[in-house]
Amino acid sequence: MTLRTSLFLAGACAALAAGASGAQDKATLDKGGQAASAKAEKTLQAMQTEEKTILTHGIMPLKLTPDAPEPPAVAIPGAGYIPGIPRLGVPALFETDASLGVSYVFGVRKDGATALPSGLAQAATWNPALIEEGGRMIGSETRAKGFNVLLAGGVNLMRDPRNGRNFEYLGEDPLLAGTLAGHAIRGIQSNHIISTIKHFALNGQETGRKVVDSKISAANAHESDLLAFKIGIEIGDPGSVMCAYNKVNGHSACDNDWLLNKVLKQDWGYKGFVMSDWGAVPSLGAALNGLDQQSGEQLDKEVFFADKLAAAAKGDPAYAKRLDDMNRRILWAIYDNGLDANPAKPGGAIDFKTHGDIAEQVARQGIVLLRNERDVLPLAASARRIAVIGGYANSGVLSGAGSSQVQAEGGPAVYIPAGNGDENSPFIAESYHSSVPLKALREAAPQAEIHYRNGRYIAEAVAQAKKSDVAIVFATQWTSEGFDVPDMSLPNGQDDLIAAVAAVNPNTIVVLETGGPVMMPWLGSTAAVIEAWYPGARGAEAIAAVLTGKVNPSGKLPITFPAGKEQLPRAEVDGLDSTEPSFFGMPDMKGQPLVADYDIEGANVGYRWNAVKGQKALFPFGYGLSYTRFAASGLKTDGTRASARMTNTGKREGATVAQLYLVSRGGKPVQRLLGFQRVELTAGQSKPVAMTIDQRLLADWQDGNWTVVPGDYGFALGEDAEHLGPVMTVRLKGKTWQD
Ligand code: GLC
């Protein structure tokens, strides 16, 4: 363990002891304090009229089509470039994607970066301190490459398990997702760069993402997706919020007075700026509805926020006032994060070894052990002949596609074009990081004779499995920004492959590399299953460490694995039956409206929905096995704070997550995660856990107020959302407060 790692682990424990279960850490709010606001005001007053539309729009500095103009030489190829105002010492903004590291943009910069595991893998760690360390790492690489804005903080809740971008986000629960997003953002911005939080809001599917209308009541939104954003903003204090492509209740999210002016800026008092998603600006009027910056302007039908905005400001006091506020907000974010005083410069040194260690640590803690019959894992030394089958396990580990795609220098180990030939196709490829499971397993189990079969021919794989002590099948589900998967089945006949191998080898282990939950028709015939997600730059090493027992898996599902699509609020993805969806989610809807009715489930997303419907998941939210055993005891709570003890009752060290749930209110079943704490325990060791309960999770939101209704509230610790301990009932007086 390197010094750095041990230091940050110590930090992790300290952070957790403070009950990092979503409690708002006031110290981070408005880091620059009044100084940033005062400085922004001073600069604004010094601005000349023609300078006021410099910061309000920018290009995507890439030559997207052969006849497109060359981007300015000063711009770094990436996601965005906004010139600064040198006369006033205002730096240019150099923007790159995204939540998993510095994006590769299909190799145009010919450099590489460290790929964190997917958002779901990060969320499966339930470890805010570690996610903050990951954010610090990718933020440092952002800066070392000369960028000063990282378009990270993807926090949209998983409302549909088939959403192509679930892999980027942090799961289905507002407390877990919001807390981890906030810590990631805090880590990123510790490098004196701006992070976003995105995509604001209710961006729950990729099919038709630029036309779909997310319908939801204010109360349901505030008790779910908006709460995730609010917690993320409270903890991370992001300089910018990126508004989404979709509509919310009939209005584009980037042109939405309720969402941007009322909720974000007035009710929440957000001081930073709202940037659009790329090609998400419908009109100049969006400026009056809360949008502060037009991003990737060449993707919109017009550049609204340059001369048109200047002209409007000249003739209309409302636009003039807005234009000042737009600049004030962008300047505040620049000063609050010290971009001017700490200019990022390209060519900075990157310690890829240490950064790889951090990515591996996240992967190790994010792997979830779903099944382990007869304790077939960890692999016994007696497993002399091991078959490794499928999933390009001889070459790499899978990653998700789209703007968040990160690759090491030299690019992907495997690159399978998956686009439909249009101009967006370079973005759409099934690509694998060059971290090789077969190699990692051979290094971790030198005593074994390990043979690989690629799984294309089932008979060949079966023949190898037959003569092996253990068969490890790697199964992949590729997902991407821009479109959803049509169902939750593993593609390319992998279900048949797994079933055939398991039929001939009782020690069949399945390693899933998926972008979301999948069906497992073969589950009963396998010995063990681990979910490794998209495990990042050192994913293979982490998978091998878990399979061989060097690491005791401690991941807990941040999402529900449904038992079938009939359990979902919407059995089919809205709009999927349209013509072939293009990458940018623009299927030909033939003028038909596309609506995602989120009021069906309301705030009851995922496990909450199952609790309301009395449904049992294939694997529930919060689920994850270990190579040891744990017991929770001594729950005490007054509804504001909670404490308990966690004990390792097994024979080896391990880590688990104490999960506190609300399970009933006024005698009616309602389930909400109220707090969590990851805890590491040696064999036989017992430790106290303590959590602060975010009162909004006990409350209803109504017309700008949170209300905890008086009555009896049932609390329980859970190994996961379905395996709950004794219920402790507390009578609460009730209270109401402003958001
Ligand atoms: C995209 C994504 C957004 C990304 C932006 C810049 O289409 O929706 O997450 O940051 O473009 O690449």
- The pLDDT assigned to 582 comes to 46
Asked whether 366 and 122 are in contact (CB, 8 A), the reply is yes
541 lines ligand 1 (CB under 6 A): no
Q: How far is the CA of 173 from the centre of ligand 1 (A)?
A: 23
Mutation to probe ligand 1, out of 188, 481, 483 (largest number of atoms < 8 A from CB): 481
pLDDT at residue 381, as a whole number = 85
Q: Packing angle between helix 494-504 and helix 458-466, nearest 10 degrees?
A: 30
Residue ending a domain, choose from 530, 548, 566: 548
What number does the ligand 1 atom closest to the CA of 199 have?
A: 9
The answer, yes or no, to whether residue 12 has pLDDT greater than 50, is no
Low-confidence winner among 248-257, 381-390, 568-577, 591-600 (lowest mean pLDDT): 568-577
> Could you tell me if residue 300 is inside a domain?
yes
- Asked whether residue 606 is domain-assigned, the answer is no
Ligand 1 atom with least separation from CA of 103:
12
The total number of structural domains that make up the chain: 3
Whether 673 maps to a domain, the answer reads: yes
Same domain, 330 and 369: no
What is the spatial distance between Cα 519 and Cα 566, in angstroms, rounded to a whole number? 12
Q: Name the closest-CA residue to atom 3, ligand 1.
A: 277
pLDDT at residue number 593: 80
User: Where residue 107 sits, what CATH number does that domain have?
Assistant: 3.20.20.300
Same domain (yes/no): 277, 379: no
Are residues 311 and 434 part of one domain? no
Pocket of ligand 1 contains residue 413 by CB under 6 Å: no
Q: What pLDDT, in 10s, does the model give residues 274-321?
A: 999 999 999 999 999 999 999 999 999 999 999 999 999 999 999 999
Inside any domain, residue 618: no
Structure confidence at residue 674 (pLDDT): 98
Per-position DSSP letters for 282-334, written without gaps between them: --GGGGTTT--BB-SGGGSSS--TTHHHHHHHHH-HHHHHHHHHHHHHHHHHH
Q: Is residue 110 domain-shared with residue 214, that is, in the same domain?
A: yes
Q: Burial code of 418-443, b = ≥16 C-beta within 10 A, e = fewer? A: bbeeeebeebbbbbbbbbbbbbbbbe
Q: Which of 690, 658, 694, 693 is nearest to 676 (CA)?
A: 658
Range of weakest confidence among 243-247, 545-549, 578-582, 717-721: 578-582
Q: Give alpha helix (H) positions in 337-404.
A: 352-366
pTM of the model: 0.95
pLDDT band with cut points at 50, 70 and 90 for residue 101: very high
pLDDT surpassing 60 at residue 17? no
Contact 714, 727 (CB under 8 A): yes
Residues 421 and 320 in one domain: no
**What's the CA gap between 607 and 559, in Å, rounded?**
8
Task: Give distance in angstroms: CA of 482 to centre of ligand 1.
Answer: 10
pLDDT of residue 151: 98
Quick check: CB of 583 below 6 Å from ligand 1?
no
Look up the CATH number of the domain holding residue 425. 3.40.50.1700
Check which CATH number belongs to the domain holding 666 and give it.
2.60.40.10
Q: Are residues 85 and 205 in the same domain?
A: yes
- pLDDT at position 7 is 31
Which of 529, 548, 567 is the last residue before a domain boundary?
A: 548
Q: In the predicted model, is pLDDT for residue 6 greater than 90? A: no
The reply to whether ligand 1 has any atom less than 6 angstroms from the CB of 275 is no
Closest CA to ligand 1's atom 7: 278
Q: What is the pLDDT averaged over residues 441-456? A: 97
Q: Is the pLDDT of residue 28 over 80?
A: no
3-state SS assignment for residue 511 = strand
How far away, in angstroms, is 403 Cα from ligand 1 center? 6
Pocket test for ligand 1, best of 95, 97, 252 (most atoms within 8 A of CB): 97
- Cα–Cα dist 99/113, whole Å: 12
Residue 415 included in any domain: yes
Q: Is 371 within a domain?
A: yes
Examine the domain organization and report whether 304 and 368 are in the same domain. Answer: no
Query: How many Å lie between the centroid of ligand 1 and the Cα of residue 76?
Result: 16
Mean pLDDT of the region 350-375? 98
Average pLDDT over residues 567-592: 64
Same domain, 403 and 299: no
Q: Is the pLDDT of residue 25 over 50?
A: no
332 lines ligand 1 (CB under 6 A): no
Transcribe 93-115 into DSSP letters.
EEEE--TTSS--GGGTT------
Which atom from ligand 1 is nearest to the alpha carbon of 95? 6
Within 10 angstroms of residue 332's Cβ, the number of other Cβ atoms is 24
Q: Which of 533, 548, 563 is the last residue of a domain?
A: 548
Which residue lies with its CA nearest to atom 11 of ligand 1? 278
Cα of 152 vs centre of ligand 1, distance in Å, is 10
Is 638 one of the catalytic residues? no
Question: Residue 577: what pLDDT?
Answer: 56
Classify residue 266 as left (phi > 0), alpha (psi -120 to 50) or beta.
alpha
Say yes or no to pLDDT of 162 above 70: yes
Q: Average pLDDT over the chain, rounded to whole?
A: 93
> Is 286 domain-assigned?
yes
pLDDT value of position 188: 98
Q: Are residues 324 and 428 in the same domain?
A: no
Strands 240-243 and 273-275: parallel
Indicate if 265 and 409 belong to the same structural domain.
no
98 lines ligand 1 (CB under 6 A): yes
Q: Within this chain, do residues 265 and 400 fall inside the same structural domain, yes or no?
A: no
State whether the beta carbon of 147 lies less than 6 angstroms from ligand 1: no
Exactly one of 173, 277, 574, 720 is catalytic; name it.
277
Percent of the chain with pLDDT over 90: 87
Whether ligand 1 lies within 6 angstroms of the CB of 357 is answered as no
155 lines ligand 1 (CB under 6 A): no
Cβ of residue 97 lying under 6 Å from some atom of ligand 1: yes
- For residue 730, the model assigns a pLDDT of 98
Provide the domain limits for residue 645.
Answer: 628-738
Examine the domain organization and report whether 535 and 391 are in the same domain. yes
Summarised one tens digit per residue, pLDDT across range 35-75 is 999 999 999 999 999 999 999 999 999 988 888 889 999 99
